Chains A and B, each alone.
Chain A
Amino acid sequence: MRRPANQEPPLSAGALVGLGLRVQHYDALSSHGLRADFAEAISENFMGRGGRAFSVLERVRSDMPVALHGVSLSIGGMDPLPDTYLSQLAELATRITAFSVSDHLCFGTFGGHYAHDLWPLPYTEEALEHVVARVQRVQDRLGRQLLLENVSSYVEYRASTLSEWEFLSEVVTRADAGILLDLNNVFVSAQNHGFLPAEYLAALPRERVRQFHLAGHSDAGSYLFDDHGSPVSAPVFRLYEQALERFGPLPTIVEWDERLPELPVLEAEADRARALSNARQAAFREREP
């Protein structure tokens, strides 16, 4: 079964920059809501459970669209795709009419266990076929397109025969999936492996890129670490501008997980991204007759 590429409900016009829901902000979210265009919820934090988390999600959903973003699907893993997981994800996506469902292009399961990390795949033909088949199964099960996010990585396999961007492009094209392009991850991996971020962006199929992620990273000296624990860096914002230029002003999430500040700090960070996105949108409008 193939799905149309734009099956999910569209965002309202001008709705472009959102924030992730984090448990440390539940009090503020419950009382004041979220000042953003849309919100992103980590799927596993809400699947098959009730209580306050779900109440906060429903409160936010009553104000704005919600995107679901998973961390444990392990789309490249060798363990079977877990049936309960997919059922609960499908149920959650339906219940909150999620405007998108995404996860990471990586593996995170081993021998029936969860790593709770985003481990890189070898970029080989075998891995490509394996991932494409699994993405198609997930999309069939969810009845909608899956967006795949590029991950930050610290190591590369000698067995790889494709670049990361070639692999990502092939997966989404063959599986009819979308790309959630994390610009911080592109920047971090580029520094750690010595490629040009611009080359990565230029190689991606423009029509497949559907959302952006922005986040902070830390400098560990001999490598950059994707810790989501600081403001978006200036080079990543510059890369975001390049991405806006190439792919257009797409829905963007600002992520922050470690050393999480108060909600207004995140909202201000989202404002910075919104200003860039709006500027790019205005430039596009000027170019059009």
Chain B
Amino acid sequence: MKLAELQRYFASAATSGSGPLPELERVFFGSKQLSAQARLAIYNRAYFYRLLDALASVFGHTKRLLGELEFERLGLAYLSRHPSEHPAVERIGRAFPEYLRVTGAPPLIVDLASLEWARLCALVAPNPASIASVHAIQPSQFPEARLRFVPSLHWLELDPRVLSAFAGEQLDSSAVAALQPACRVAIWRSQHVVMQQAVADCEWQAFSHAASGATLSQVCSVFDSGSAAEDVQRAFRVLSGWFARNWLEKVEHGQALAI
């Protein structure tokens, strides 16, 4: 066998979820104490359980809700279909929330897994080049300014009970299966700590506009309810909150984009 063939053979043996390959003894040495099959089984076990540990370290709350055995069953099935695509082992769970969804897990559990994955992404995101101050906006340039958000900021639409489940509150099994209207949640990293917060629909819309490159005047149009004084107050509250939470990397000035 050539090197490439030997490596393919080894990888098949080490990552197979369905028992030993044929001809193992012809490729590897065994001994009286330990057959070639038993030796390859060490690698096979180590492969799956190392990755399962990595999955559990990211999806701890999902594991708690699913239960140890069900998490192991789903986790091992996921790992056999979704080998790692990233050199850092913690990223092994990139497709786990979607896997839970397509295999019919309750939406609440899928959402909890999505939240945990977003929290990991926020945790490991690159540092922002800078944190923008509200003073970075000149009043005369305000309407045309655009906002660039920090890399750690993520937004999700989630079952609102996910936040309770994440906080450790017990949910009964009938509640887990029931559907609830989604709420919007922002997840970000501040001072090395991952934060999350439910936000109102108008803030979600404003963020969607801003993240797609809209100018501040376009973003503020979201708050247009016909009452100028109230609209200004709401827009001010939302935008100043973004600065206060260190969500903004930079305030940029330039041409408006069509949205």
Contact = CB atoms under 8 A, between A and B. Distances in A.
B158 to A, nearest CB: 23
B11 A111 contact: yes
Interface in A23-76: 44-45, 47-55, 72
B4 interface: yes
B46 A117 contact: yes
A12 interface: no
B85 A113 contact: yes
A50 B85 contact: no
Contacts of A159: 1, 6, 27
B15 A225 contact: no
A116 B92 CA distance: 10
A119 B14 contact: yes
Max chain B C-beta neighbours (<10 A), residue from A77, A122, A194: A122
A77 B7 CA distance: 8
A44 B40 CA distance: 26
B125 A51 contact: yes
Contacts of B11: 110-111, 115, 119
B135 interface: no
A109 to B, nearest CB: 9
A78 B39 CA distance: 23
Nearest to A126: B3
A55 B192 contact: yes
B73 interface: no
Interface in B37-58: 38-40, 42-43, 46-47, 50-51, 54
Interface in B17-31: 26-29, 31
A127 B14 CA distance: 20
A284 interface: no
Contacts of A72: 87-88
B130 interface: no
A82 interface: yes
Nearest to B40: A155
A156 B30 CA distance: 8
Given A51-B192, A154-B39, A114 B126 contact: no
B84 A116 contact: yes
B248 to A, nearest CB: 16
Contacts of B192: 51-52, 55
A119 B15 contact: no
B251 interface: no
A195 interface: no
Given A49-B124, A113-B84, A122 B6 contact: yes
> Which of A55, A78, A116, A154 has the largest count of B CB atoms less than 10 A from its CB?
A116
B168 interface: no
A50 B249 CA distance: 14
B242 interface: no
Interface residues of A, number: 43
Contact of A78 (B3, B31, B34, B124): B3
A26 B114 CA distance: 26
Contacts of A154: 34, 39, 42-43
Contacts of B8: 110-111
B31 to A, nearest CB: 7
Interface string A63-105: 0000000001000011000100100000000000000000000
B3 A122 contact: yes
Contacts of B10: 119
Interface string B57-98: 000000000000000000000000001111111001000000
Contacts of A111: 8, 11, 83
Q: Which of B1, B8, B27, B88 has the most CB of A within 10 A?
A: B88
B146 interface: no
A112 interface: yes
A107 interface: yes
B33 interface: yes
Contact of A51 (B46, B50, B123): B123
Contacts of A49: 88, 124-126
Given A115-B14, A117-B50, A158 B85 contact: no
A157 B6 contact: yes
Given A51-B125, A114-B83, A223-B33, 7 more contacts: A50-B126, A85-B87, A115-B15, A116-B50, A156-B28, A156-B29, A159-B1
16 contacts: A44-B87, A47-B87, A49-B125, A50-B124, A53-B124, A78-B4, A110-B7, A114-B84, A114-B87, A115-B47, A117-B46, A119-B7, A154-B42, A155-B28, A155-B43, A194-B31
Interface of A: 44-45, 47-55, 72, 77-78, 82, 85, 107, 110-117, 119, 121-122, 124, 126-127, 130, 154-159, 192, 194, 222-223, 225
